[in-house]
């Protein structure tokens, strides 16, 4: 037994409280720090569950190594929405809560405030802290207006007490999910929402950032620095009230980042309260992932409604070796004017071949009035670039399909000049609701037109992509229109009989449909594909007659199927 602060500690095991309104006892601690001191000095012999009551708690907390903590002896703190807050004024102690070698700690639903005006880190992980989780917590930078990244971070995983970019074994197997990281006003908030810095180059961190809301940061929503094996999944990144800014990054994956998954994230409305700002913005930024061993995936993300008057690189990739870009949606379709340049996808690798890189099943729509709009900037050769859909058709100066090594004014010249996107299209996606971020295409031309075999199974909302006719972009498209009736005999009494193929097609969707293809096949063979001319309004049906007739080569029964291309066969 050891004695500390008037309280005896044995190995912890079972249920406890942190309650400053009750006396300290064998099962109650009056501060967070006294609880973590007990864990560090006495250790645990089983699972420990803690309920926090009667906040707020104003203290700076350090969680040191916990003897006995393991996968079967976990420590769970149930915050109950109580507040833990601290005002730091020290460069080397900027945190409210620091994991300093503590393992197997889960904190649920705790409101963490970093209240310093110059130095403020909400949560800091360092000294090989492993297997820790923040779930459903709020991390608030309350008063800090500093624009120095190292002094103003929501959650910082870095093995330094004063930096956000020092390499070292700070943390592994960290999960941050269902949390909100935010500021409190127009200029008060984190410079970096979440920072993940590596132990060293090409060392896996096994960090998961999932379903978090990151708001009103100054520069970086999520900043991955040299780290590998980081999963950034289904986060929502925006700045509804921020009024000052600099060069902005929604998600930044900087330098030698391998095996990372950037999937299902929404990056949007970064300038709602500063629409006249002219700073440069990067939605998803991949910088110098220079190795065929990268094997990272950037998929099912949406970058949209970037409202300001500065240059926008919606997806930026500099030497993106081995990165798969698939099923992303880029939308710059607001009606307000941006006088600067817009790039849907910007790729640079000089003369070096980008082994393993692919750009497949993405949608880029740029119609916002602006200086110039480029669906694609390329100074690189991507080994696989296909089944993407583009629409660049805004009022103002110039619309271009691509620039870089050569300028392509339209999609047809892009296809013929580069050999890329043989199965791609130039199509207006007619998104369901641009302002609310529902970027589901409502045109059947993009229904089921993606390439199979990407390995991307889910869209941005968790819906399954079809394994046979996947959709393009980040949102599963399911336009309710298809063939309803076949009009042919389907049998032959003589060899080489010829029959005209007629089908009925109906549009049950609330959107007018045009420009799509019809198809049929016989006995599971090759498709006959022909264009539907005209417009099929909501609720309307039409008969379609294929120009290519069906020839029965032999007498007998035949299986005949037809569909709108991309829809299931009927």
- Using CA atoms, how far apart are residues 412 and 404, in angstroms rounded to an integer? 17
pLDDT along the chain (570 residues), means of 10: 43 98 98 98 98 98 98 98 98 97 98 98 98 98 97 97 94 98 96 93 91 98 95 98 98 92 98 98 92 81 98 95 95 95 93 83 96 92 92 85 92 95 96 97 95 97 96 96 82 67 95 94 92 96 93 78 92
Decide if 263 contacts 327 (C-beta within 8 A): no
The SS3 call for residue 124 is strand
Burial of 416 (0-12, 13-18, 19+ CB in 10 A): exposed
Which distant-in-sequence residues (6+ apart) come within 8 Å of 426 by Cβ? 389, 390, 391, 401, 410, 411, 412
Does the pTM exceed 0.85? Answer: yes
- Using CA atoms, how far apart are residues 339 and 326, in angstroms rounded to an integer? 29
- Tokens (6 digits) for 71: 């996968």
Transcribe 341-401 into DSSP letters: EEEEEEEE-TTS--TT-EEES-EEEE-S-EEEEEEEEEES--SEEES-EEEE--SEEEEEE
Which distant-in-sequence residues (6+ apart) come within 8 Å of 533 by Cβ? none
- Using CA atoms, how far apart are residues 35 and 16, in angstroms rounded to an integer? 9
Decide if 199 contacts 205 (C-beta within 8 A): yes
Model pLDDT, residue 8:
44
The SS3 call for residue 445 is helix
- Using CA atoms, how far apart are residues 119 and 135, in angstroms rounded to an integer? 24
Model pLDDT, residue 312:
98
- Using CA atoms, how far apart are residues 218 and 244, in angstroms rounded to an integer? 7
Cβ neighbours, 10 Å, residue 312: 27
- Would strands 550-552 and 497-499 be described as parallel, antiparallel, or unpaired? antiparallel
Model pLDDT, residue 249:
98
- Using CA atoms, how far apart are residues 464 and 215, in angstroms rounded to an integer? 28
Decide if 258 contacts 295 (C-beta within 8 A): yes
Nearest to 142 by CA among 162, 122, 157: 122
Nearest to 325 by CA among 203, 473, 445, 220: 473
Model pLDDT, residue 9:
53
Taking the alpha carbons of 542, 548, 549, 551 in that order, is the dihedral positive or negative? negative
Nearest to 248 by CA among 173, 332, 335, 308: 308
Cβ neighbours, 10 Å, residue 464: 10
Residue bearing tokens 């998961």: 208
- Using CA atoms, how far apart are residues 322 and 298, in angstroms rounded to an integer? 11
- Using CA atoms, how far apart are residues 74 and 13, in angstroms rounded to an integer? 10
As a whole number of angstroms, the longest Cα–Cα distance in the chain is: 102
H-helix or E-strand containing 338?
A: strand 338-348
Taking the alpha carbons of 402, 406, 410, 415 in that order, is the dihedral positive or negative? negative
Q: What is the DSSP letter of 149?
A: G
- Tokens (6 digits) for 461: 């909302």
The end-to-end CA distance of the chain, in Å, is 76
- Using CA atoms, how far apart are residues 358 and 385, in angstroms rounded to an integer? 6
- Would strands 120-126 and 152-157 be described as parallel, antiparallel, or unpaired? parallel
Model pLDDT, residue 7:
45
Model pLDDT, residue 382:
84
Transcribe 506-517 into DSSP letters: EE-SSS-EES-E
Decide if 364 contacts 339 (C-beta within 8 A): no
Decide if 469 contacts 454 (C-beta within 8 A): no
């Amino acid at each position: 037994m050891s004695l500390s602060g008037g309280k005896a500690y044995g190995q912890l095991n079972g249920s406890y409280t942190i309650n400053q309104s009750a006396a300290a006892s064998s099962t109650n601690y009056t501060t967070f720090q006294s609880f973590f001191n007990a864990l560090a000095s006495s250790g645990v012999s089983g699972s420990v569950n803690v309920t926090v009551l009667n906040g707020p708690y104003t203290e700076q907390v350090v969680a040191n190594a916990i003897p006995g903590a393991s996968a079967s002896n976990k420590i769970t703190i149930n915050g109950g929405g109580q507040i833990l807050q601290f005002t730091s004024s020290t460069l080397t102690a900027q945190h409210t809560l620091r994991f300093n070698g503590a393992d197997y700690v889960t904190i649920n639903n705790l409101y963490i405030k970093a209240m310093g005006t110059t130095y403020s880190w909400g949560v800091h992980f360092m000294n090989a802290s492993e297997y820790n989780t923040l779930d459903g917590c709020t991390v608030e930078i309350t008063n800090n207006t500093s624009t120095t990244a190292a002094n103003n971070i929501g959650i910082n995983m870095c093995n330094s007490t004063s930096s956000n970019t020092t390499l070292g074994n700070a943390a592994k197997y960290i999960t941050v999910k269902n949390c909100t990281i935010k500021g409190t006003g127009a200029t008060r908030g984190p410079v970096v929402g979440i920072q993940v810095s590596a132990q060293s180059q090409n060392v896996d961190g096994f960090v998961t950032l999932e379903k978090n809301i990151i708001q009103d940061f100054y520069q970086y929503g999520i900043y991955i620095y040299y780290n590998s094996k980081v999963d950034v999944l289904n986060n929502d990144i925006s700045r509804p009230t921020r009024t000052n800014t600099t060069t902005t990054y929604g998600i930044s994956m900087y330098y030698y980042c391998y095996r990372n998954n950037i999937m299902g994230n929404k990056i949007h409305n970064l300038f709602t309260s500063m629409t006249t700002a002219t700073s440069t913005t990067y939605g998803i930024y991949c910088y110098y992932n220079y190795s065929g061993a990268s094997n990272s995936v950037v998929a099912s993300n949406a970058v949209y409604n970037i409202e300001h008057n500065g240059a926008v690189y919606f997806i930026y990739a500099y030497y993106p070796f081995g990165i798969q870009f698939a099923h992303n949606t880029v939308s710059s379709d607001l009606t307000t004017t941006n006088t600067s340049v817009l790039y849907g996808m910007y790729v640079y690798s000089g003369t070096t071949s980008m082994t393993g890189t692919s750009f497949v099943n993405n949608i880029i729509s740029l119609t916002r009035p602006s200086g110039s709009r480029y669906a694609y900037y390329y100074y690189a050769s991507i080994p696989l670039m296909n089944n993407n859909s583009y629409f660049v058709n805004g009022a103002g100066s110039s619309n271009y399909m691509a620039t870089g090594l050569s300028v392509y004014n339209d999609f047809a010249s892009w296809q013929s000049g580069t050999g890329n996107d043989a199965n791609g299209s130039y199509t207006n996606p007619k998104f369901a609701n641009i302002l609310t971020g529902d970027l589901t295409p409502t045109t059947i031309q993009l229904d089921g037109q993606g390439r199979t075999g990407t390995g991307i199974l889910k869209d941005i909302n968790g819906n399954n992509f079809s394994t046979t006719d996947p959709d393009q972009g980040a949102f599963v498209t399911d336009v309710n229109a298809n063939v309803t009736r076949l009009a042919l005999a389907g049998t032959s009494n003589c060899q080489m009989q010829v029959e005209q193929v007629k089908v009925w097609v109906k549009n049950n969707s609330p959107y007018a449909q045009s420009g799509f293809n019809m198809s049929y096949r016989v006995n599971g063979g090759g498709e006959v594909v022909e264009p539907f001319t005209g417009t099929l309004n909501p609720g309307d049906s039409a008969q379609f007659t294929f120009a290519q007739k069906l020839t029965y080569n032999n007498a007998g029964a035949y299986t005949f199927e037809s569909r709108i291309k991309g829809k299931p066969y009927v």
